[in-house]
Amino acid sequence: MEINQVIEKTARDAYGRLLSYLAVNWRDLQAVEDAIGDAFLAALESWPKAGIPDKPEAWLVTAARRRLIDRARRTRISESALPTLLAMSEDAQRLTSSSADFPDDFPDERLRMMFLCTHPTIDAVMRTPLMLQTVLGIDAARIASAFITKPSTMSQRLTRAKAKIRAERLTFDMPDPEEIPDRLEPVLEAIYAAYGSGWDEAAIADSPRRGLAEEAIYLGKLLLPFAPREPEVYGLLALMLHCEARRTARHDDEGNYIPLSLQDCTRWEQRLIMEAERYLHTASQAGRVGRFQLMAAIQSVHAQRLRTGRIEWAAIAQLYEGLVRLSPALGALVGRSAAVAEAYGPEHGIVLLEAIPSDEAVNYQPYWALAGHLYKQMHREEEARSAYSRAIGLSTDASVRHFLQRQDAKI
Amino acid sequence: MSYTLMFYESQEDFAARTDPARQEDYLAGWTHYVRALHEAGIVVFGSGLYAPETAATMKRHGGETVVQDGPFPETKEQLGGIMVIDVPDIDTALEWAARAPVDTVEVRQNIPALH
């Protein structure tokens, strides 16, 4: 492997761990990011000449720490942090000289970092971007595209969030064990937001965040060893993996979008479905149901079509009922209407759909797509055309738009 | 605040406007999109533009006026239409840009009128 590739790989694998470890002690995220950036630059200069160190990560921590100490001496504003840094430097020296492998020896502080990114005082919409950047090292431009935001605006918001963490001295401390379930909730929300938060296949296919799916699953798996008794962590993973299993089945060879109930299930990825089912099973053992477990269970019922050849819509409708009771989000309300329509007829589904306040649904694509579908089945042609038109106008993905146009043409 | 969405179309998009085989699909894409914008109650003004080869461009070179046929600048993608919308911020304007039936949309804030 080329030196540059080694550095790149090290950066990708270790970035979040390095950043979290240093930030927990130094508490100035921006300064730590700069220091790590400098450390990677130094590696690019030094490694080709001196060779790749035995413990590249420990080398990088040492280099980054040195930058931080230099900076502190130069600016004299952070001298109170010097004792901590000097203690860390001893740590790092011990690491470099010890024979143990990096992963066992290096405290993994990424969970603390995730708790910090989802701290109640951090603006809810900035939690996912902050987590993507600090834990995974994803750059602001890519995050901005995933959230359809101006890149310079995203950068400014990230910088402001980091400044807030420093200014308000937000704590990096781990919550008490009894607080963990409550503090996990926003972490799970943030990971789910990275996944794309779609209630159905069309919403996922239509989401600009579908490119972050692997990263979201990575974050979910990262969380697992830290919260082995929290069923919602397993539920979220099961949900994401079930959806991921259908990635290739979502479009045919010509690129046409295929809705879930018409997908060729032999194109689903078995390995991911089994993994999802294992997580869901583990979650159910805890005996504490939650929204992610319910959403995963809905996907699990769909996955059963592979074995049974049919979709148990009544079971799905019942799961949605539970979901709506737990959290009546717009997506859950629309999903329930769809399932009830399939199980008991469109006239039952449309009653639930029309009960959703129209000001909430005005720009919500899945609402209009379902309305078009149900009106069409009920032979209310005029309303069907109008609803499909709204759905097409609100879609961002060309394949979803074309699918809806084909449905519209069939009226 | 008001923002202008500038829709850039490829040569193929412009051709689809008049190609009998593709015209209906092409126009329908716009009809649905413009309808969603109107239903959202954010439209200030909007208009499609005739194809770039119908354009005339006035240019001044060192005080001398030159009028030429065609658009400025001459690139693969050309302005095909604009939509002025009234939305709270550029994030919302970009969200609407993402729904447009073309692949390139430039978004800029409008300078408020001087009174």
Write the DSSP string, B32-89: HHHHHHHHTT-EEEEEE---GGG-EEEEEETTEEEEEES-SS--SSEEEEEEEEE-SS
- Over residues A137-178, the pLDDT tens digits come to 898 999 999 899 999 999 999 999 999 988 887 777 777 878
CA distance B38 to A220: 40
What pLDDT was estimated at residue A99? Answer: 40
Closest approach of chain B CAs to the CA of A243, in angstroms? 23
**How confident is residue A5, by pLDDT bands cut at 50, 70 and 90?**
confident
CA distance A346 to A338: 8
Nearest Cβ partner for A149 among B34, B91, B99: B91
How crowded is the C-beta side of A393, counted as CA atoms within 13 Å? 23
Q: Which structure tokens are listed for A91?
A: 């740590």
Which residues of chain B lie closer than 8 angstroms to A153, CB-CB?
90-91
Describe the crossing of helices A346-354 and A365-377 by its angle, rounded to 10 degrees.
140
Mode of pairing for the β-strands spanning B2-9 and B78-86:
antiparallel
Average pLDDT over every residue of A192-198: 81
CA distance A410 to A67: 65
Return the number of other C-beta atoms located less than 10 Å from residue A93's C-beta.
13
> Does the pLDDT value for residue A78 go beyond 60?
no
Q: Which residues of chain B are at the A interface, by a Cβ-Cβ cutoff of 8 Å?
A: 25, 28-29, 31-37, 39-40, 90-91, 94-95, 97-99, 101
> Does the pLDDT value for residue B34 go beyond 90?
yes
Which residues of chain A lie closer than 8 angstroms to B31, CB-CB?
389
Lowest mean pLDDT among A12-16, A283-287, A365-369, B105-109: A12-16
CB-based contacts of A394, cutoff 8 Å, min separation 6? A363, A364, A365, A368, B36, B99
**CATH assignment at residue B93:** 3.30.70.1060
What pLDDT was estimated at residue A102? Answer: 41
A393/B99 touch (CB, cutoff 8 Å), yes or no: yes
What pLDDT was estimated at residue A76? Answer: 61
A394/B36 touch (CB, cutoff 8 Å), yes or no: yes
Domain total for chain B?
1
Q: Residue ranges of the domains in chain A?
A: 1-108, 110-228
> Does the pLDDT value for residue A399 go beyond 60?
yes
> Does the pLDDT value for residue A90 go beyond 80?
no
B99/A395 touch (CB, cutoff 8 Å), yes or no: yes
What pLDDT was estimated at residue A11? Answer: 76
CA distance A31 to A18: 13
CA distance A35 to A23: 11
> Does the pLDDT value for residue A79 go beyond 60?
no
- Over residues B76-95, the pLDDT tens digits come to 889 999 999 999 999 999 99
> Does the pLDDT value for residue A75 go beyond 60?
yes
- Find out whether B85 and B44 touch, Cβ atoms under 8 Å: yes
> Does residue B58 lie within any of the structural domains?
yes
The pTM for the full model equals 0.87
- Find out whether A63 and A10 touch, Cβ atoms under 8 Å: no
A392/B34 touch (CB, cutoff 8 Å), yes or no: no
A148/B35 touch (CB, cutoff 8 Å), yes or no: no
**Any idea how long chain B is?**
115
User: Across all residues in chain B, what is the average pLDDT?
Assistant: 92
Which residues of chain A lie closer than 8 angstroms to B29, CB-CB?
392, 401
Residue of A nearest to B107 (CA): A150
Closest approach of chain B CAs to the CA of A239, in angstroms? 26
- Tokens 């860390």, located at residue: A88
Structural domain boundaries, residue B30: 2-109
> Does residue B114 lie within any of the structural domains?
no
Lowest mean pLDDT among A148-162, A207-221, A339-353, B4-18: A207-221
A150/B35 touch (CB, cutoff 8 Å), yes or no: no
Q: Which of B25, B32, B34, B39 to mutate to test the interface with A (most CBs of A within 10 A)?
A: B32
A43 vs A297: which has the higher pLDDT? A297
